Structure 1
Amino acid sequence: MTPLLLTGPATEPVTLTDIKGYLRLDNDDEDRLIASLMTAARLMVEAESGRCLIAQTWRLVLDRWPASGAIRLPLSPLIGLEEARVFAADGAATVLPAAHFHAHAADDPPRLVAAGALPAPGRAFSGIELDVTTGYGATADAVPMPLRQAVRAIVARWYEHRGDGGEAPAVPREALALIAPYRRGRL
């Protein structure tokens, strides 16, 4: 299953004002740097936790339906299925209504389970596309506080150690400790 980002988050889990207060900065001279650090820190927290923080839309591409009818999603938490498409051999898409699937968003990883028979794709590869929205919600307040604090800790570390020439850890230990309870287990 290949995930492709369609629409990234409209906001970050922490605001520029929040981060500047956390860093004790009063001027606007480095706002662009801090904003880029915030985005990079969010991406690091998402990678470390295996979770999307702010609502974003992804396209998941499959070759065929799983035999069980249950599709385990590589992204969480699941907000919802936007659209499902199955492609014929000639490339024509058939849209399946979202109601054709039951979303098990509370599962980890989340699953989509077909409510009935699914049409077989006519293409051998990339015959199915699922557009899903993932994340804790559209606003920073929806993101659990420990994950927002992890973003702050990463930004602070990167800001304080920029240009030192030394090797600061990509994700500080305190941020890893905040992320740990949210990390998706892998076997």
Structure 2
Amino acid sequence: MTATRVIEPVVEPVTLTEMKAHLRLTGTVEDAFLEQLIASARAQVEQETRRALITQSWRLYLDGWPLGRVVQLPVAPVQGISQILVFDEDGVPHALSEGDWRLDKSTSPARIRVKPGAGLPSSAVMSIEIDFTAGYGTAASDVPADLRQSVRLLAAHWFEYREAGTELAMASMPHGLDRLLAANRVRLL
């Protein structure tokens, strides 16, 4: 199973104005750098928690259906499924109809149950593609406050300790970040 982000989020969960207020900055000299730090911190928080903070598109590649034909999606929260493609022996994609599968968003991670006999893949590697949308919403305000705080803490830490080799930068993380991330981490079974 391999998952890749197909479409990046359009906005970040923390605005430049919010980040500057957090750091008590008033000038504009560091704005471009802060925007890069916010994007990097969001990506790190998403990787650590297996969550998509802002709406984004993903593609999951499978070699075949897992036992029970239940597929756990590796990123949460899932908003919906765009399509499920199954490739035949000749590499021709066939879309499963919505009646062939059911999305269960009541669990975390969300999962898809595929009907028996639907979409029999070939023996080729990566013969199934599942396109889905994940994230809390399209606006920063849609993201839970503790995850937004995680992004702010991490971006502020990187801003303050931008020298890569310093002892403090290497040996410490922002106070409480590990607990914020652990409380939001999606467990994979």
Superposition TM-score, scaled by structure 1 size? 0.92
Contact 1:82–1:98 (CA under 8 A) maintained in structure 2? no
Matched residues in 2 for 1:174 and 1:140: separation? Answer: 21
Q: Which residue of 2 aligns with 1:185?
A: 187
Q: Is the 8 A contact 2:154 2:174 kept in 1?
A: yes
Which residue number corresponds to residue 127 of structure 1? 127
| 1:36 paired residue number | 36
Count of aligned pairs: 187
C-alpha distance in 2 between matches for 1:91 and 1:10: 33
Task: Tell me how far apart the structure 1 counterparts of residues 146 and 99 of structure 2 sit (CA, whole Å).
Answer: 34
Letter in 1 for 2:125: F
Mean CA deviation greater in 172-181 or 6-15:
172-181
Closer/same/farther in 2, CA of residues 171 and 85 from structure 1, 3 Å limit? farther
Deviates more, 1:112-121 or 1:37-46: 112-121
Aligned-partner Cα distance in 1 for 2:7–2:115: 27
Q: Match for residue 177 of structure 2?
A: 175
Q: Partner residue of 2:22?
A: 22
Structure-to-structure mapping, 1:140-155, within 5 angstroms: 140-155=140-155
Q: Distance in 1 between matches of 2:160 and 2:60?
A: 38
Give the Cα–Cα distance (whole angstroms) in 2 for the partners of residues 164 and 113 of structure 1. Answer: 46
Q: Which runs of 5+ in 1 are unaligned?
A: none
CA shift in 2, pair 1:170/1:151, >3 Å: farther
When residues 170 and 16 of structure 1 are mapped into structure 2, their CA distance, relative to the original with a 3 A threshold, is farther
The 3-state SS of whatever aligns with 1:68 is helix
2-structure distance, mates of 1:171, 1:46: 17
**Deviation digits for residues 3-37 of structure 1, max 9, x if unmatched?**
01110111110101110111111111111110110
Q: Deviations over 1:106-153 (max 9, x none)?
A: 212210112453121124211110001111111111111000011111
Partner of 1:6: 6
Which runs of 5 or more residues in structure 2 are unaligned? none
| Helix, strand or coil at the partner of 2:37 | helix
Q: For the aligned residues, what is the CA RMSD?
A: 1.8
Shift of 1:63: 0.8
Q: Aligned partners of 2:184, 2:46: CA distance in 1, in Å?
A: 10
Q: Which residue of 1 aligns with 2:61?
A: 61
Give the aligned partner of residue 158 of structure 1: 158
Task: Indicate if the aligned counterparts of 2:109 and 2:188 stay in contact, CA closer than 8 A.
Answer: no
- Mapped to 1, the partners of 2:164 and 2:92 lie a distance apart of 55
Matched with 2:136 is 136
